Structure formats: structure tokens, C-alpha cells
Structure 1
Amino acid sequence: MYLKNSFLKVIKLVSQFQLILLQLSKGDLTLASSFLAPSVGRQTRSRSAQDGLETSAQGSVTLLTTTHLVEALVFPVSFPDDSSCFCQRSPGAPRSLIILGFARLISTSSVNYQVHVGEYGVHWNFFFTLAAVAILTFIINVHPNYCGILGSLILIGYQALLLCGLNKFIMSEERKPDIFSQNKEGIFSIFGYWGMYLVGVRIGSYLFFGGNADATLKTKKWAATRVWALCLFFWLITLLLDWYVEAVSRRMCNLAYVTFTLAANLQVLAILMLSHYVSGCKSSALEEAFNRNLLTSFLLANVLTGLVNLSIDTLSASSIFAVAILFAYAFVLSLSVGFADFFGIKLKFW
């Protein structure tokens, strides 16, 4: 009976994750954000991730991360009762992320893995970006109440530089032999992701850790209303920026992309908060299993995606075959995470 219940639990994890990926294959990206809902408490750490697989029209399979784990995996922030305390971050995070960045660079180069240089540059990857944001935040450590101001100033200043001609330099296909020009996309986008993170800290502090946590959290309806209001606000700002300032560009991580990301994630969070009006369990076993090993799950997903791209010509794969790959991917990943959760395995790299 014990083994039977364990097996049924793992099967439940697999089935739930396959349903999510089935929606992803139809273009519904919001369900993939079920890992985005933060847990709320006086000393709660924000743990969120948004992972999935993106299939192109040709059936190619690549790992999709919209928020890139900026808030969730490497910068856990606690808001203690003492409002004089600053945001706290693990000093080991940048070191671990730099190691992961070089490990990815070496591994992809050694197997001649296809990497689009227009994404982050020739040598850069997002682990280096996360490490840079962690270092900058550690050096310039401000109170959560002022993170929004600092983040907004960084984003506005960076956007002004883009409009003054920096955007043409970043989007240009010309690359000089120096390391800076070779990785211009990844290096300059640091400012956008840093500003995004700081604004996200302020939003999280406002929504869930107000001046009086008990008073703030005593009504879930009021919290949901604020989330929806902020969601609509950032969607409006995104449209105005996209129409009149500069089109959304993840490559540059410009201001429009930052507000778009915030609006999309707030929308997902608002939808998830509607579960408070539904009776029953508020979180799935799959969500809890992934929450215990977020970064490990993300790294395993990267490895599995790499194995698929190395062993299969995904560009010429049919839509049916692409969906079959998604289900096999979901089964292996969910099975691994489910067994790790069942045996109480929790891996942390710092």
C-alpha cells in the first residue's frame, strides 16, 4: 500500500505537468506560470519560476523562460518585521551563478551546440546576467520601500541611452573582435534586468508585506484587487511605450519589455489568486514538488532540452512529433522531480 500510494503520487505529478505542457503546445503560456504564485508570510521567501517548452512553427523545441528566475531562484528576499532591515541575499549566489555560466559556455562549445548569438552574445548567457544583477544588488543594497525608485531611475536612464543611439549599436549585426562588442546584448541588458528585479521587489513588498502585514493580509479580496489594478496599469504602460517610445525588445531588455514582463506576471498572479474563491486544495502536488527544487529542476530541464536538440533535428520535426517530444520531456522531468520530492531530496548550490 505504501509503494502504491507513492506510485500514484508520482503519476499525479506527471499527469498534471503533461496537462500544462499540452496547453503550452496550444500557445497558452499563462498556465506555465503556476510556479509564480508567491507564498505569503512574515518571513516568507519569494520562490517563483516560469519554465516551459516553446515549439516553433517548424516544430523546434527550445527552453522558454520568461522571467528567467530572476526573482525566484537566486535572489530570495525576506521582509522581516523590523522595517529597518534591508533586503538580504545569499553572498554565495553570484559565485555559483558564475560557475554555472562558465559550465554552460564550456559544455555548449565542446559539443558544438547551436547558440543564437543575437540572444545574449557570443560568449554570454543568462547565468552571467543573473550573477551581475546579484552583484550589483549586493553592492547597492537599499530598503525594499526604495527599490522601486532606484529601479525606475535605472530603467528610465537605460531607456534614454537606448533612444540616443545605443539601441542601434546593440541591434547591429556588426561585431568587433573585443569581448565587449562580442557580448553587447548580454552586457547592456543587465541594466534592464536589474531595474526589473528592483521594481519587482517593491511590488512584492507593497502587495504582500505592507506597513502592517496582518492588516494587509487580513483580506484576500483587497490583495487581489491591488494585483489586478497593477496588472492593468502595467499593460497600459506597455502599450503606450510600445506605440510611442520603442517596441518591446527582449534582446535589449528595454523599458517596454520590463513593463510587459511585469504586466504578464501580475496577470498570471491575479488569475491564480482567483483560486481563493474555489473550495479545495489551493496548491497541487506538482507545484510543491517543483518549489522544493526549483533551480535543480530548471537545470535538469536545460539538460533535457539540450539532449533533445543534439539528438533530433527539431527544425524538420512535424507538429505531432514535437508534441510527442513534449510529453516525453514532461514525463522524465516530472518523474525525476517527483521521486526527489518523495525521498526528501533537496539540492541547493550555495
Structure 2
Amino acid sequence: MSQKPWRRRHNPTPSTHTHTAIDILPTPELPSSSSRSSSLLSESNDPTSSSEQSPGQVSVPGAGDKLSFLSVYRAHMMIMTVHCILAVDFPVFPRRQGKCEDFGASLMDVGVGSFVFSLGLVSARKLVGSQVSNDNIFLKISQSIWKSLPTLVLGLVRVLMVKGSEYPEHVTEYGVHWNFFFTLAILPVIGISLRPVCQLVGWTQAGLLVAVLHQSALSSSGFNLQSWILSPDRNGLIEMNKEGLVSLPGYLAIYLLGVAIGQHVMRAAAPAKRVESATEKAEERIKRHYEQRRANLAMELVSFGLGWWSLLAFSRFMGVEVSRRMANSAYVLWVAGYNTLFLLGYLLLEIYLLEIPVPPHAVPPLLDAINRNGLMVFLIANLLTGVVNLSFKTMYLSNYQAMCILILYSIAVSAIAWTARYWKVNL
């Protein structure tokens, strides 16, 4: 099939509408030595911590305490995002890196999908594993709904604030009332609901199946959702928010693929089998265990990455263009491939630069602070972005003025994250 020309239309006026806060969970804490088993970061106060360790397992102190490469990956993603959401409002920011209106791929287009993929990564421990069962599934769904209520409330608050202050926004991103908070509130609930099916068919297969069905609905003559989304008509509540509703299956596919990758990441950090004594030979055996697990994970990420990019090339050959607005199959595969290979890069750096056991301070303190308090950092960044846009006519500022504001903004966000880390605040 002939390939359609690549079309890129950028949003005419930059805004921070699509870069809304997410329930950004800290990198999972993994089983460590018995001396740290009473850590304050237990299951009760850290939903992504892992305090389970079977009696027949043991680990080297520092070897599996934290996935350092995952922490750095998530922190760098956060830093890139919080800078872009303000920088895009200044002329100094390259227009080609701004969000594409209908079709296309740019730096800011990958941000939203990366958040969803990252959420799937850190949600893997709760959705996958021997400790997870499908007993009382309806109770777990209700618990997931309850935990998603704060995110839903934030979405409602954002709607009221944006409409009340007449803050500039683009309805073609999510719709008139819908915003990314609502998408984030719904995804974990759907993930819990689909867990029995996903465990049966596989998380990767489930994610790809959702992407294929979603693309079929977009392209088929029967549904033809793509033409409906691209049309300017907005009559009624559903049509006013058609982008947010129609893109939801695409983000669900990204979330499921993130869980699939997270399943392999968590498996690589699983403790080694217990040895009879803590002799030097035993320590070496466990060290080799973690080294082999990380090497296997690297090969798995290479395989996944090649698979995602190959499928993306096939989608492009079939005429499917990347569209963040619709979260179509090409966008799903692009986000999955981008994040998988980036995660592989951080893992390779850890393998070749850090020895087992990984040093306790392998993650730089500032990056650790940003990763641990991602939700707070992102909320503060959005708040400061709004203050700057209401205080200045950002599109008329010189490059020098823009850079001064961006530097002060970066210092403020970093200082808040550092202060939270100093006072041991984890949100």
C-alpha cells in the first residue's frame, strides 16, 4: 500500500494543557537484605515498594535495593517534561519540537505517552507476579476506583480553573472539558479489571490487541472514527470531548505494554535463592545472579525494542501515520519503542559503569528527589508555568529574557524537590 505523505501541523499557540499531572509513583523499592527489611518505605505507605521476600531467597545488600537505571530514566523524563511545558511558550523553543495538531512526531508528542508507559512500568509489581491473585477482583476494582478519586478531582479542579481564568487551551488535544487527569484516573481501574484476561493471554499480546482493535475502529468504513475526530463539529457533550474519549484505548494499549516491560524489569531484580552461609563464595554466587539477570534483561529490551520499531515501520508502510491526538497504533508503537530503547540505554550504562552490588548512592541525589516526589514536582511545575503565563506575554519575550525565566524556573523546581528529599517527604 502506498504511504501517505507525512503531515505535521503544530498547535498555533503553545499551551500546557496536555502536560497535566499524573499519579507519578516512585521507582519500586525491591527486596533487600534483612537489615533493611524494616524500612519505613513499606507496602502501607509506598504503593510501589516491594516488601515481599520468600523464605528461600536472599540478596546482596545494595544489589536489588533499587532499580537505579529506572530511577534515573524516570527522573530525566520528568526533567525534560517540566522544562518543555514552560519553554514551549517562548519563541526560543524550536517550533518543530512542539505538539503536532493532527499527525506527526515531535519531542512534546512523546511526553504524554511516556508518562503512561512509565506508569505501566511501576504498576507491574501490583498487576503481575506470583504474589498477585485474582481473588476478590471486584473488591480490588473498587479499591482502585477509590485510589483514583484524587486524580479525578484534580481533573475537575483543572476544568474549573481553566474555564474560570480563561487560560489559553486547545480543544483539539483532549476536548472541551476532558483533560489528561481523567485519562490517568481511568487507566489503573481498567488495568485491574482486565488483569485476569491479560494474565491469560499475556500483557504484551493484550496491549497489541487493544492497539489493533483501536486502529481498526479508527480506519474502518463502519466506524470511521478518524474522520469524526478530525472534523470541526462539536455538538453535544460526547462530541465536545471526542479526542479524550477516542484516544483512551490507545493510552490503555501503551499502559499494558508498559506493564509487560515492567514485568521483565521486576523479574530481573528478583532476589537469588538462599545459600547456606554468607561466605565469600556465596556472595560471589549471588553477585553473578544479579549480573546474569541484568544481562538477560538487556537482551529482552533489545528484542522488545526491535519488535516495536519493526511493527511501527510496518504500520507506516500500511499508511498509518503517528497521531498523538487519536493515540492510534502508530503512536502506541512509537512511544513503546522510544521508551524501551531509552530504558535499555540507562540499563547498559548501569551494567558497564556500576558494579554489583550497586552503590547506595548510584542515583544522584537531585534525580532521586525528583523521582521520589514526581507528583509534587509536576504539580509545582504546572503551577509555576501558569503563573509565568499570566504574568508575562511569553511569546513576545526575547531569547535572553526567556532563558533567564527558564533558569529561575528550573532552580525553583529543583529546590522544591531537594527540600522535600531533605525533610524526607514522599508524595
TM-score, normalised relative to structure 1: 0.78
For 1:285 and 1:211, the matched residues in 2 are separated by: 22
Matched, 1:310 2:310: no
Q: Which residue of structure 2 lines up, in the alignment, with residue 166 of structure 1?
A: 225
Give 1:211 deviation, angstroms.
12
For residue 149 of structure 2, the aligned residue among 90, 95, 99 is 95
For 2:362 and 2:269, the matched residues in 1 are separated by: 26
Note closer, same or farther for the CA distance 1:236–1:149 as it changes in structure 2 (3 Å cut). Answer: closer
Give 1:336 deviation, angstroms.
0.8
Contact 1:37–1:269 under 8 Å retained in 2: no
Contact 2:124–2:260 under 8 Å retained in 1: no
Note closer, same or farther for the CA distance 1:222–1:98 as it changes in structure 2 (3 Å cut). Answer: same
Deviations 1:67-116, CA, capped at 9 Å, x for gaps: 36335559734257626525977443321111010011111111110111
Contact 1:73–1:294 under 8 Å retained in 2: no
For 2:266 and 2:397, the matched residues in 1 are separated by: 45
Alignment of 1:330-341 (within 5 A): 330-341=410-421
Amino acid at match of 2:226: N
For residue 82 of structure 1, the aligned residue among 120, 125, 130 is 130
Matched, 1:257 2:331: yes
Alignment of 1:229-268 (within 5 A): 229-268=303-342
Alignment of 1:279-294 (within 5 A): 279=354, 281-294=361-374
Give 1:228 deviation, angstroms.
2.4
Contact 1:275–1:282 under 8 Å retained in 2: no
Amino acid at match of 1:85: S
For 2:396 and 2:388, the matched residues in 1 are separated by: 13
Q: Which residue of structure 2 lines up, in the alignment, with residue 69 of structure 1?
A: 115
Matched, 1:206 2:264: yes
For residue 326 of structure 1, the aligned residue among 406, 411, 420 is 406
Q: Which residue of structure 1 lines up, in the alignment, with residue 169 of structure 2?
A: 115
**Greater shift in the superposed pair: 47-56 or 259-268:** 47-56
Q: Please give the secondary structure, in 1, of the residue aligned with 2:116.
A: coil
Contact 2:28–2:49 under 8 Å retained in 1: yes
For residue 207 of structure 2, the aligned residue among 151, 160, 170 is 151
For 2:131 and 2:347, the matched residues in 1 are separated by: 26
Note closer, same or farther for the CA distance 1:138–1:342 as it changes in structure 2 (3 Å cut). Answer: same
Amino acid at match of 1:204: G
Structure 2 gaps of 5+ residues are 1-23, 32-47, 51-69, 100-107, 274-288
Note closer, same or farther for the CA distance 1:240–1:312 as it changes in structure 2 (3 Å cut). Answer: farther
Q: Which residue of structure 2 lines up, in the alignment, with residue 278 of structure 1?
A: 353
> Based on CA coordinates, which of the two structures has the bigger radius of gyration?
2
For 1:84 and 1:297, the matched residues in 2 are separated by: 31
Contact 1:98–1:127 under 8 Å retained in 2: yes
Amino acid at match of 2:239: S
Amino acid at match of 1:158: H
For 1:84 and 1:305, the matched residues in 2 are separated by: 40
For 1:246 and 1:81, the matched residues in 2 are separated by: 35
Q: Which residue of structure 2 lines up, in the alignment, with residue 125 of structure 1?
A: 179
Structure with the bigger RCO (C-alpha within 8 Å, sep 6+) is: 2
Deviations 1:135-178, CA, capped at 9 Å, x for gaps: 322333335572222222211111001112211111222221x1
Amino acid at match of 1:202: A
Amino acid at match of 2:252: W
Note closer, same or farther for the CA distance 1:243–1:81 as it changes in structure 2 (3 Å cut). Answer: closer
For 2:268 and 2:421, the matched residues in 1 are separated by: 33
Contact 2:117–2:255 under 8 Å retained in 1: yes
Deviations 1:307-338, CA, capped at 9 Å, x for gaps: 12222222223333332222111100001111
Contact 2:154–2:181 under 8 Å retained in 1: yes
How many residues align structurally?
312
Note closer, same or farther for the CA distance 1:182–1:257 as it changes in structure 2 (3 Å cut). Answer: same
What is the CA RMSD across the aligned residues, in angstroms? 3.2
Deviations 1:241-294, CA, capped at 9 Å, x for gaps: 133231000000001101111111112111111222114753111121122211
Amino acid at match of 2:256: L
TM-score, normalised relative to structure 2: 0.65
Structure 1 gaps of 5+ residues are 1-34
Amino acid at match of 2:215: Q
For 1:318 and 1:108, the matched residues in 2 are separated by: 27
For 2:234 and 2:162, the matched residues in 1 are separated by: 21
For 1:291 and 1:104, the matched residues in 2 are separated by: 24
Contact 2:204–2:256 under 8 Å retained in 1: yes
**Greater shift in the superposed pair: 316-325 or 164-173:** 316-325
**Greater shift in the superposed pair: 242-251 or 117-126:** 242-251
For 2:295 and 2:265, the matched residues in 1 are separated by: 12
